[in-house]
Amino acid sequence: MNKNLVYLCLLLLVSVASCSFTNKSFENPDKDKLLIDLISYVLDRAHYNPKDINDQFSQKVFDNFIETIDPTKRYFLNSDIEEFNKYRLEIDDQIKNTDISFFNLVHDRLNQRMNEAKKIYQEVLDKPFNFTKSESINIDYKNQEFVSNKKALKERWRLQLKYASIDDYGDKLDDKESKKSKKEIEKEVRLSTKETLDEFFDFVDDLNRKDWFSQYINSIVEGFDPHTFYFAPQDKERFDMRMSGQFEGIGARLVKRRGQIKITEVISGGPVWRGNLLQVGDEITKVAQEKEEAVNVVGMRLDDAVKLIKGPKGTKVILTVKRVNGLIEEVAVVRDVVVLEESYAKSAKVNDGNKTYGIINLPSFYANFKDYDQKNAAADVKEEIIRLKKQGMDGLILDLRDNGGGSLKTVVDMAGLFIEDGPIVQVLSTGNRKKIHEDKDERIFWDGPLVVMVNELSASASEILAAAMQDYKRGIVLGSKQTFGKGTVQNVLELDGLVRNNEHGKLGALKLTIQKFYRINGGSTQLEGVKSDIPVVDQYSYIDIGERDQNNPLPWDKISAAYYDIWDGYIDYDKTIEKSRKRMANNPQLKLIDENAKWIKKQRDQKVYSLQIDVYNKETEQKKKKLEYFDKIYKYQTDLSFQSLPYELDLIKKDSILKMRRERWHKSLGKDVYIEEAIEVLKDLQMNNVRKNGLASSVKG
């Protein structure tokens, strides 16, 4: 965390606690009202671009909340919406007065309508579907009205459930080995759909009022920008786990099905995996802390059961387990730090003739915010670079595809691995206070050819790194036409510390936008993202998934450039880009991918589907033929083969799951036309052996 950010957070904490901004105090005995009061106060004083809480804002919150809780318009009636409408222009006043009448009304009505929906779907699924009837469904619910009465609501459910069943029905009819009649197949399909709905409503029944209230709060905070978000306490724990890539517990993923808590995955390297204590399919029925009575978890909310099972490193939990074979026994597990290995950087090498190239895949810019030095992406990437250099690496691919970002400090540290020193990113805080984040470490850990790979889902910190390498001309950016376009910085603020004498338990946290970041050339990546030096088409090319397609994004702008020196390590930088673009323009695999991307866009735009099986099957058959045609994309095979590094080969001998994951990754790399081209780019990049410390001509703002 940078000094300005620390200062801002401390200022906010001290100011709220001491009420130096206002005489206001946060002592409301109603936790929901306290949260509204607290969050609206923080947003007004700490958000980068505070909003006017007015009638226009009120309407957006209204629409957002209703759409969030009933997106397919199968619970509320039009009369409900008309009743809710009296609050459409009053939510802004309610926020200011910590009034939650709107939420209370909607929440109570939702519970009523969901209880009615349980009867509706059961009644619908008690009767056979007539798949020969000529009818269709329009799934563009956003542009549809709420129905006017319960008869129309039941009809909407009928069409939706028939649509949910018809694909399975068609598949079972096509099964040449099946001897079941159409009537038997239809009944089987309905029962399967009913089981899916039963499981869904089991999940809904587990939701508490506080879960729905969190949705309401987020309908408010997301009105500021798409990345401001309220974390309920349990959601904050999950966020921390994603950011650090680790947690303390037993090392198993759980799911609740029909009231039963079951193991869905044993995490490689965790306590359960090391002791071979549990397996997928085992059911946990009771949980006991050491020297305490066991608690029955059958029927318990999944989150509550997980809280009992997780715990600090070194503590013991005793699980009563019903094995897949029906045997019931107690299993004692000593909790430990569980590392989510697939969240971390991984590397591989590829030999091409007498050259060796390296690839580092980075899923996110992870960091342990409580102990940065313990685990962070920059340190891990540095270690992988050192290992690859020992293998005689001649060029490096840094794969940031699908990397949604993470720690700002981590990306600054990581960019410094490739340049001598200098600015990496500029950050603008509230009040137009500018700070330049620089790499001050003169050591360069990799000064050879570099390709940075991105796509439309490369966001935030990924865009900072790609932009810095592009502005320095240190590496060539290869990927989608542009990256995601998230040019904002968020901080997660714990809410508990802002309240005196808090008697409500954990209040959660608020992730709020407090800064915008800018390239060292002065341009923002907000909305525009990073334009690739070598743009290539992919499956996302025609789909709206970027920041510009989110609700309430902050605008694009630019500031003055920082002072920096362009890297002078290459003698053919621009020529290499030109050669690659020509290769890509004539690449038959990319032409096929482009055709597929346009077809995917067309399928996504389709909103009306026939529910008559003959018509549906005809359309499905056409899609299958098209998919078979596009299947050539996945059969593509390069001449490249990838290998793990020596240290990992030793780990693989002891870990069959890691072995399977690496084999799968290497196989996918061998089919990847973008990796193939990245290798060609590395071959074309010639280094200037007479560089002056890796730097040359100056660029000044």
pLDDT of residue 351 exceeding 60 = yes
What stretches of 369-508 adopt beta strand conformation (E)? 395-399, 422-429, 433-439, 450-454, 476-479, 488-494
Per-residue pLDDT at 263: 86
Number of residues that make up the chain? 701
Work out the end-to-end distance of the chain between its first and last CA atoms, rounded to an integer number of angstroms: 26
CB 512, CB 472: distance < 8 Å = no
Task: Judge residue 7's burial from the number of C-beta atoms within 10 Å of its C-beta, 0-12 exposed, 13-18 middle, 19 or more buried.
Answer: exposed
Closest to 492 measured CA to CA, from 373, 374, 363, 367: 367
Per-residue pLDDT at 175: 81
pLDDT of residue 20 exceeding 80 = no
DSSP code for 342:
G
Facing residues of 570 across strands?
Answer: 687
Confidence tier at 375 by pLDDT (50, 70, 90): confident
Residues 424 and 439: their CA atoms lie apart, in Å, by 7
Report DSSP letters for 122-159, one per residue: HHHHTS---TTS--EEE--GGGSPPPSSHHHHHHHHHH
Contacts of residue 533, Cβ cutoff 8 Å, sequence gap at least 6? 470, 476, 477, 478, 577
pLDDT tens per residue, range 314-323: 899 889 888 8
Secondary structure class of 549 (helix, strand, coil)? helix
Per-residue pLDDT at 8: 35
Per-residue pLDDT at 618: 92
Residues 602 and 600: their CA atoms lie apart, in Å, by 5
Residues 186 and 129: their CA atoms lie apart, in Å, by 7
pLDDT of residue 3 exceeding 80 = no
**Which domains are seen in the chain, by residue range?**
52-223 (no CATH), 246-339 (2.30.42.10), 342-496+519-699 (3.90.226.10)
| H-assigned helices in 85-132 | 91-96, 101-125
Around 51, how many Cα atoms within 13 Å sit in the side-chain half-sphere?
24
Cα 435 from chain centroid (whole Å): 28
Q: Which amino acid, 380?
A: D
Closest to 561 measured CA to CA, from 657, 436, 668: 436
Q: Which amino acid, 215?
A: Q
Report DSSP letters for 643-676, one per residue: E--HHHHHHHHH-HHHHHHHHHHHHHHHT-HHHH
This prediction has a pTM of: 0.84
Mean pLDDT for 674-696 is: 76
Q: Out of 219-223, 371-375, 440-444, 465-469, which region has the weakest mean confidence (pLDDT)?
A: 371-375
pLDDT of residue 452 exceeding 90 = yes
Secondary structure class of 346 (helix, strand, coil)? strand
Per-residue pLDDT at 267: 77
Confidence tier at 185 by pLDDT (50, 70, 90): very high
Helix axes 209-221, 31-46, angle to 10 degrees: 20
pLDDT tens per residue, range 458-478: 999 999 999 999 999 999 999
Task: Judge residue 334's burial from the number of C-beta atoms within 10 Å of its C-beta, 0-12 exposed, 13-18 middle, 19 or more buried.
Answer: middle
Confidence tier at 22 by pLDDT (50, 70, 90): very low
pLDDT of residue 17 exceeding 60 = no
Per-residue pLDDT at 689: 64
Closest to 438 measured CA to CA, from 463, 476, 467, 411: 411
Per-residue pLDDT at 242: 65
Phi, psi of 461 (to 5 degrees): -60, -35
Three-point CA angle 359, 363, 366, nearest 5° = 115
Task: Judge residue 689's burial from the number of C-beta atoms within 10 Å of its C-beta, 0-12 exposed, 13-18 middle, 19 or more buried.
Answer: exposed
Say what the alpha-carbon torsion angle 649, 654, 655, 661 is, to the nearest 10 degrees.
20
Mean pLDDT for 478-483 is: 96
Per-residue pLDDT at 178: 80
Report, in this order, helix, strand and coil percent for the chain, each rounded to 5.
Answer: 45, 20, 35
- β-strand pairing of 534-535 with 476-479: parallel
Pairwise pLDDT comparison (684 vs 236), residue with the higher score: 684
Q: How many CB atoms lie within 10 A of CB 350?
A: 23
Residues 13 and 42: their CA atoms lie apart, in Å, by 10
Secondary structure class of 213 (helix, strand, coil)? helix
Q: What is the largest CA-CA distance in the chain?
A: 80
Confidence tier at 371 by pLDDT (50, 70, 90): low
Per-residue pLDDT at 691: 46
Mean pLDDT for 222-229 is: 93
Secondary structure class of 432 (helix, strand, coil)? coil
Contacts of residue 514, Cβ cutoff 8 Å, sequence gap at least 6? 5, 8, 46, 47, 48, 429, 430, 489, 490, 491
- Average pLDDT, rounded, for the chain: 87
CB 98, CB 37: distance < 8 Å = yes
Per-residue pLDDT at 244: 60
pLDDT of residue 525 exceeding 50 = yes
Residues 177 and 160: their CA atoms lie apart, in Å, by 29
| H-assigned helices in 400-474 | 408-415, 461-471
Per-residue pLDDT at 28: 66
pLDDT tens per residue, range 264-274: 777 766 888 87
Task: Judge residue 270's burial from the number of C-beta atoms within 10 Å of its C-beta, 0-12 exposed, 13-18 middle, 19 or more buried.
Answer: buried
pLDDT tens per residue, range 83-111: 999 999 999 999 999 999 999 999 999 99
Q: How many CB atoms lie within 10 A of CB 145?
A: 10
Confidence tier at 696 by pLDDT (50, 70, 90): very low
pLDDT tens per residue, range 122-151: 999 999 999 999 999 999 999 999 999 999
CB 491, CB 574: distance < 8 Å = no
Facing residues of 608 across strands?
Answer: 138
pLDDT of residue 14 exceeding 60 = no
pLDDT of residue 261 exceeding 50 = yes
Q: Out of 68-77, 415-424, 536-545, 635-644, which region has the weakest mean confidence (pLDDT)?
A: 536-545
CB 401, CB 395: distance < 8 Å = no
Rg (CA), the chain: 28
Residues 436 and 139: their CA atoms lie apart, in Å, by 48
Per-residue pLDDT at 545: 85
pLDDT tens per residue, range 584-642: 999 999 999 999 999 989 988 999 999 999 999 999 899 889 989 999 999 999 999 99
Per-residue pLDDT at 443: 93
pLDDT tens per residue, range 565-597: 999 889 899 999 999 999 999 999 999 999 999
Closest to 521 measured CA to CA, from 590, 466, 575: 466
Mean pLDDT for 9-32 is: 47
- Burial of 496-517, coded b for 16+ CB within 10 Å and e otherwise, reads eebbeebeeeebbbbbbbbbbb
Confidence tier at 297 by pLDDT (50, 70, 90): confident
Token code pair at residue 251: 């090392």
